[in-house]
Amino acid sequence: MPRSSKKRKPNKEPEPSSSSDDSNNSEEEEEELDQHENIQIDLEARTPIDTDHSAILYFLEQSFGSTLKKSILDLNLLATQLINQQSIGSVFYQPVDEADDDDDDESPVLGICSFLRFYQQQNKQVATWLLDKCSDNEQAKAILQTSKCGLFINERYMNIPVDISLPAIRTLRTEISYEIDYWIIHAKLRLDKNNSNTIYYINGEDEIFQNHSTLFIDYTPTQSNNNEWTEKRRIIFVSTNKLDQICSDIEHKLKQ
């Protein structure tokens, strides 16, 4: 579980994760992780720092895809923006035993929980990308064009337990000092090819966000199919006045 306080402990430069080979193997890696149960480890949270860039970029590529053109959505720039915010967002890592003098020990980033606000004038590329994905939905376009919105970034390795989500979301809410009308969640889903009613949320808490959403829109990412599952992405619009109930529902689910 992440602890309530943030630390500025730096971690070593992670191995580059955005190479073409890694991108091509991302689905295979996720399939392999699916075969393992959630691991139980002690996690800590801290503010993102420059050496987290490669890890954050990896998580963004898992969510949005590694084949996006920079002219459409520059994930490298998005990772930089998440780091430069300083006072908003956390990355999660497993702390290294300080008594261990092994210089090779690292504290790799295992997840990120952050928020990127945008208006038409601020982070315009994100707003433009969302407007394109929501072009057939008048209500979604109206929200994006007239309301104060932000993109909720909530990514982690698949076998990191959902338990980290609740304290991370609660901490994030206290860090957001500006007015926001809607949180926009970019959820990763899998649909069973043999039963279209079977939907698996990669992050289980995203289903709770959807249950309290104003609307949601699905789209299919590139290279989305394998033998058993069809990959989907779901853009979920959630009014900020629903967040208290969402946190309560996540807490209830974790106690089950």
Question: Which phi and psi (to 5°) does residue 112 adopt?
Answer: -145, 140
- Residue 160: Cβ within 10 Å count: 21
From 161, 68, 62, 154, select the one nearest 113 (Cα to Cα): 154
The string of DSSP letters for 187-208 reads: EEEEEETTEEEEEEESSTHHHH
- Angle between helical axes of 243-255 and 165-175 (0-180°, round to 10): 160
Amino acid 102: pLDDT: 54
pLDDT along the chain (256 residues), means of 10: 43 39 45 47 89 96 86 91 92 77 68 87 82 96 94 92 92 95 96 86 96 96 75 96 98 92
Cα dihedral value 186, 70, 125, 25, nearest 10: 0
Domain 6-255 has CATH 3.40.630: yes
Q: Domain-by-domain residue ranges, the chain?
A: 6-255
End-to-end C-alpha distance for the chain, whole angstroms: 17
Amino acid 174: pLDDT: 97
- Look up tokens 């149960």; give the residue: 37
Give the rounded distance of the alpha carbon of 178 from its chain centre. Answer: 21
Amino acid 222: pLDDT: 77
pTM: 0.82
Amino acid 201: pLDDT: 94
Q: How far apart are CA 252 and CA 166, in angstroms?
A: 11
Amino acid 55: pLDDT: 96
Amino acid 216: pLDDT: 98
